């Protein structure tokens, strides 16, 4: 697997953090196109049923991507802000979901921002950080800054939902590679564990020649559930629930996800 700090010259990531290059690339959306709006709607309906938030609640979708969860909250009647670092994804969210004289659109807004230091003039009833939008930085203190900034933007007794992968489950499948074949390009995805990080290599393959045209690497710190819970507590949160999948089943050792519901203490 390519080293994320010494990528080949055909990588677009040489002078940018991996998450700046990858999430702002045209390939990201197509590779994850199976994570669609219908999937998001089902999960958000389950989540809001668990939270039992009043319809007047204001929600922040932190690391919103192209806005599928933001849209799902708005369809249920909540006023929702989607924030993401990627200008490309925010532009797509606005293009897809912000329409004139549309009551659902009027309950949504999107903005570009860094989850570590964004500043919004709103205190939210709930903040969600979904689909492993955490653990991206080389310094653990930067991850703590994310939690601290979320804490500052919550109302008293406001909720934080942190959705991360389950370390044990991911490590058990770490040597598996997969190929995906699409209408425009093919891709090889490989995973490895190195220095406490899960590294996912994404090789973009030209269909006619089979040549690798670009390489991206996702680099996510491999936090255990116990480490995440400790970080939440040290950041001023009380952990209320620990779910193990998007059906919000109780977490177990073999669960694919690690989803915490926490409350601002």
Residue 234 CA neighbour count, 13 Å, CB half: 12
Residue 70 resides in a domain = yes
DSSP string of 100-158, one letter each residue? TT-TTGGGEEEEE--TTT---S--EEEEEE-SS----SSSHHHHHHHHHHHHHTEEEEE
128 and 204 housed in the same domain: no
Residue 22 resides in a domain = no
List average pLDDT for each run of 10 residues in the chain, which is 265 residues long.
Answer: 39 71 90 82 97 97 96 98 97 96 97 98 97 96 98 98 97 86 91 95 92 94 98 98 98 96 96
94 and 176 housed in the same domain: no
228 CB-contact burial (10 Å; exposed 0-12 / middle 13-18 / buried 19+) = buried
Q: 187: domain range?
A: 169-221
84 and 197 housed in the same domain: no
146 and 236 housed in the same domain: yes
Place of tokens 């950080």: 129
How many other CB atoms sit within 10 Å of the CB of residue 52? 7
92 and 216 housed in the same domain: no
Number of domains forming the structure of the chain: 2
188 and 240 housed in the same domain: no
- Give the residue from 186, 204, 221 where a domain finishes: 221
163 and 210 housed in the same domain: no
51 and 67 housed in the same domain: yes
Residue 7 resides in a domain = no
216 and 109 housed in the same domain: no
Q: What pLDDT is attached to residue 8?
A: 34
DSSP H helices in 17-114: 18-23, 26-31, 37-51, 68-75, 87-97
Residue 9 resides in a domain = no
Q: What pLDDT is attached to residue 240?
A: 98
41 and 158 housed in the same domain: yes
Q: Under the phi-then-psi rule, with left for phi > 0, alpha for psi from -120 to 50, and beta for the rest, what region is 48? A: alpha
122 CB-contact burial (10 Å; exposed 0-12 / middle 13-18 / buried 19+) = exposed
51 and 106 housed in the same domain: yes
């Amino acid at each position: 697997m390519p080293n994320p700090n010494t990528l080949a010259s055909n990588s677009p990531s040489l002078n940018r953090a991996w998450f700046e290059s990858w999430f702002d690339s045209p390939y990201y959306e197509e590779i994850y196109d199976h994570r669609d709006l219908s999937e998001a709607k089902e999960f958000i309906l389950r989540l809001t049923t668990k939270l039992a938030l009043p319809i007047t609640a204001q929600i922040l979708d932190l690391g919103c991507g192209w806005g599928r969860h933001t849209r799902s909250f708005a369809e249920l009647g909540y006023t929702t802000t989607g924030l993401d670092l990627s200008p490309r994804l925010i532009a797509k969210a606005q293009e897809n979901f912000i329409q004139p004289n549309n009551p659902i659109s009027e309950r949504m807004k999107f903005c570009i921002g860094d989850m570590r230091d964004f500043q919004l003039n709103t205190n939210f009833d709930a903040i969600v950080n979904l689909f492993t939008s955490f653990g991206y930085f080389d310094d653990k203190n930067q991850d703590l800054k994310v939690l601290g900034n979320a804490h500052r933007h919550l109302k008293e007794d406001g909720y934080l939902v942190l959705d991360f992968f389950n370390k044990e489950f991911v490590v058990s499948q770490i040597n598996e590679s997969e190929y995906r074949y699409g209408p425009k390009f093919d891709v090889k995805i490989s995973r490895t564990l190195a220095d406490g990080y899960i590294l996912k290599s994404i090789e973009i393959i030209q269909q006619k020649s089979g040549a690798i045209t670009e390489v991206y690497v996702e680099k996510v710190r491999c936090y255990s559930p116990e480490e995440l819970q400790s970080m939440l507590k040290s950041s001023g949160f009380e952990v209320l629930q620990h779910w193990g999948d998007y059906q919000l089943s109780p977490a177990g050792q073999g669960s694919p996800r690690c989803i915490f519901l926490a409350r601002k203490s």
